[in-house]
């Protein structure tokens, strides 16, 4: 797992694309998947905050907050755009942030009201993916969203990538042949 800053240093173009997709409407928007106590998935809309040194999310007292406190695994997917099927995906582990100075600074950036029982989590990253489509999602007379250009990144210390060039938990489900920590690109046919 790496911090957002470490990820952005290792894969700056991918980090910029993810930041752009998460913040395409100004404030960050995405869908957060957590792991319920019974092992099933739970998905919620959230407003992530991306700064130069971290990827964060404020959560109120809720099932998703309890999920992250119990089992920090998460997946974060960008909110869909109006005109394209481009997407961003991040996965890893969330950890609580308890530093009051950091909380106050990020609350101001994330527009988190001081009267709410917010808990701040930093999202450490194991995997990142950006998918770009070659044409808009809806093109009159042309079905589908066109071909996809998908770029995937895995943390160099990701335990699922050790011992094999193929990551069994790859977000695309496809084998990869590059070393962890290096972005690689997959081209899909239309």
* pLDDT tens readout for residues 177-189: 445 555 556 544 3
Work out the pLDDT band at 171, boundaries 50, 70, 90: very low
* pLDDT tens readout for residues 1-26: 999 999 999 999 999 999 999 999 98
* pLDDT tens readout for residues 44-60: 999 999 999 899 999 98
4-187 domain in CATH 2.30.110.10? yes
Q: Which residues pair with 44 in a beta bridge?
A: 32
pLDDT of res. 97: 93
As a whole number of angstroms, the distance between CA 105 and CA 91 comes to 24
The residue among 74 and 180 whose pLDDT is bigger is 74
The residue among 133 and 152 whose pLDDT is bigger is 152
pLDDT of res. 108: 75
Helices (H) and strands (E) in the chain, counts: 4, 9
As a whole number of angstroms, the distance between CA 33 and CA 60 comes to 15
As a whole number of angstroms, the distance between CA 139 and CA 147 comes to 13
């Amino acid at each position: 797992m790496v911090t957002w800053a470490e990820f952005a240093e290792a894969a700056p173009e991918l980090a910029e694309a993810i930041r752009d997709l998460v913040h395409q409407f100004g404030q960050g928007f995405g869908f957060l998947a957590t792991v319920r106590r019974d092992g099933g998935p739970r998905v919620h809309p959230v407003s992530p905050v991306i700064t130069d040194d971290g990827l964060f999310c404020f959560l109120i007292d809720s099932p998703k907050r309890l999920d992250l406190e119990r089992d920090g695994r998460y997946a974060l997917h960008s909110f869909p755009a109006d005109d394209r099927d481009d997407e961003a995906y991040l996965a890893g582990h969330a950890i609580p942030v308890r530093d009051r100075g950091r909380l106050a600074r990020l609350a101001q950036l994330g527009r988190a009201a001081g009267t709410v029982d917010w808990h701040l989590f930093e999202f450490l990253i194991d995997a990142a993916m950006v998918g770009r489509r070659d044409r808009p999602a809806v093109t009159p007379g042309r079905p589908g969203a066109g071909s996809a250009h998908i770029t995937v990144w895995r943390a160099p210390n990701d335990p699922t990538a050790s011992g094999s060039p193929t990551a069994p938990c790859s977000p695309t489900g496809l084998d990869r042949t590059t070393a962890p920590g290096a972005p690689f690109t997959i081209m899909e046919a239309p």
